[in-house]
Copies of this chain bind each other. A is one copy, B any other.
Amino acid sequence: MNYVFSNRISALKPSAIREILKVTSGGRCIPFAAGNPAPEVFPADAIEALSSAILKEQPVTALQYGVTEGFAPLRERIAKDLKARFNIGREFDEVIITAGAQQVVDLASKVFLNEGDTVICEAPSFIGSLNCFRSYNAVLKGIPVESDGMNIELLEEALNTDKNVKMIYTIPNFQNPSGCTMSLEKRKALYALALKHNVIILEDNPYGELRYKGEDIPSIKSFDDEGIVIYAGSYSKIISPGMRVGFSLAPAEITAKMTVGKQASDVHSPMLCQMILDRWLNDYDTAAHIKFIRSVYSRKMELMCDKLDSELGGRISYVRPEGGLFIWCELDSSVNMLDFCKEAANNDVAVVPGTAFMASESDCTNCFRLNFSTPTDEQIVRGIEILGNVCKKFN
């Protein structure tokens, strides 16, 4: 049979990037392309003990159908924690539990986007979210990211020009892939512009807890008195991505629609994973665990940056991030980025070509993305040496 697929799914073509990633998916490759947490930071013993206790003490709750909004004690705990620690959440806001922050992006899209609506995103931005918007046949408008976040003048221009904008998507902390963090001033400007233009903000904050230096900056949601921000959070980076537990905090009216959307997608998220997370947050010292993760990643980041300086200094430019998982490197204009990435892959080092993160893959960039959480220290040292040698070939 000749399958006639939907327009939305046909828009998601396998890309040149996927082809490169395929080459590097073998076990031999040094993994700078992924965004996986380091295996050594998983609290596996604690999770084993919690899972066991839950299945002995509350087996029916863990194994039976649950409500779509999520496990009530976990929802309350998250809401309380966000309020106490970050002043995030107002009377009108509600939490729902999702399959990672990815599903928040999916549900926000489902609830707000008609086909052809525009989503303003950072350029570059997270490929998983861009693909999600594409799967709703949205039009993507990328606004360049500077070292202190989105270019606000260009954002304003886009909002003035395009009357079809429904949503602004931003990762304000240690943005994926640029590593940049939006300044407080820009966060406030972005909020004011969205309010003026009646546009929803989708604030995605998977890396907020991964700050290695500098001071926390208030989230956009923390000054959302008007109820225009959907905040997406995740435990993937601080406990376990394989458990797929994230959450959304948004005005109850929006949350109700997202709940209806989630019911039609997957009914609810697995109870066992939600209950493990709930007990973990209650029984264990999350702050100490995050401190431990920060120490591991901070060391890896500095190691990678130091090696980049010694092996590729003068051939690439990058901003040393204050947190997160990624370093965004721009090659000297004399080097073709895609050729560089292919040659790196041929030498068993996987990096992601910057075009993967653009609103349109034809958008120009000479950057590539490095991840430092997945590789071992030894892999970081050897991998950057290899990239240095690859780079030399092009000069």
Stretch of A35-43, A170-178, A185-193 lying at the B interface: A35-43
Q: 11 A-B pairs, CB-CB below 8 angstroms?
A: A1-B227, A6-B112, A12-B260, A48-B51, A51-B52, A99-B269, A103-B266, A110-B135, A131-B260, A134-B264, A244-B270
CB interface residues, A 1-43, toward B, < 8 Å:
1-9, 12, 34, 36-37, 39, 42
Stretch of A58-66, A141-149, A342-350 lying at the B interface: A58-66
Minimum CB–CB distance for A133 against chain B, Å: 9
Let me know if B257 and A244 touch, CB within 8 A: no
Stretch of A235-243, A287-295, A357-365 lying at the B interface: A235-243
Minimum CB–CB distance for A325 against chain B, Å: 12
CB interface residues, A 308-356, toward B, < 8 Å:
none
Instruction: Mark interface residues in A255-298 (1 if CB within 8 Å of B CB, else 0).
Output: 00100110111111111110000000000000000000000000
**Distance between Cα atoms of A42 and B65 in the complex (Å):** 12
Residue A303 CB within 8 A of the other chain: no
A64 touching B271 in the complex, CB below 8 Å, given contacts A3-B254, A106-B266, A254-B3: no
Instruction: Mark interface residues in A65-78 (1 if CB within 8 Å of B CB, else 0).
Output: 11000000000000
Closest to A34 in B: B65
Let me know if B64 and A37 touch, CB within 8 A: yes
Residue A113 CB within 8 A of the other chain: yes
Let me know if B9 and A257 touch, CB within 8 A: yes
Q: Of B2, B3, B100, B261, which is within 8 A of A266 by CB? A: B100
Q: Of B59, B98, B264, which is within 8 A of A128 by CB? A: B264
Report B-chain residues with C-beta under 8 Å of the C-beta of A42: 59-60, 63-64
Residue A160 CB within 8 A of the other chain: no
Minimum CB–CB distance for A112 against chain B, Å: 6
**Distance between Cα atoms of A8 and B236 in the complex (Å):** 30
Report B-chain residues with C-beta under 8 Å of the C-beta of A98: 266
Residue A125 CB within 8 A of the other chain: no
Q: Of B5, B34, B106, B253, which is within 8 A of A111 by CB? A: B5
- Copies of this polypeptide in the complex: 2
Residue A162 CB within 8 A of the other chain: no
CB interface residues, A 207-228, toward B, < 8 Å:
226-228
Let me know if B60 and A39 touch, CB within 8 A: yes
Residue A55 CB within 8 A of the other chain: yes
Report B-chain residues with C-beta under 8 Å of the C-beta of A115: 115
Residue A87 CB within 8 A of the other chain: no
Given contacts A1-B198, A128-B267, 16 further A-B contacts (CB under 8 A): A1-B226, A4-B166, A4-B198, A6-B112, A8-B114, A9-B257, A12-B261, A42-B59, A47-B55, A48-B51, A63-B240, A65-B242, A102-B264, A106-B264, A115-B115, A132-B265
Minimum CB–CB distance for A167 against chain B, Å: 11
Minimum CB–CB distance for A251 against chain B, Å: 8
8 nearest CB pairs, A to B: A44-B59, A99-B266, A48-B55, A242-B271, A63-B240, A132-B264, A39-B60, A42-B63
Report B-chain residues with C-beta under 8 Å of the C-beta of A61: 242
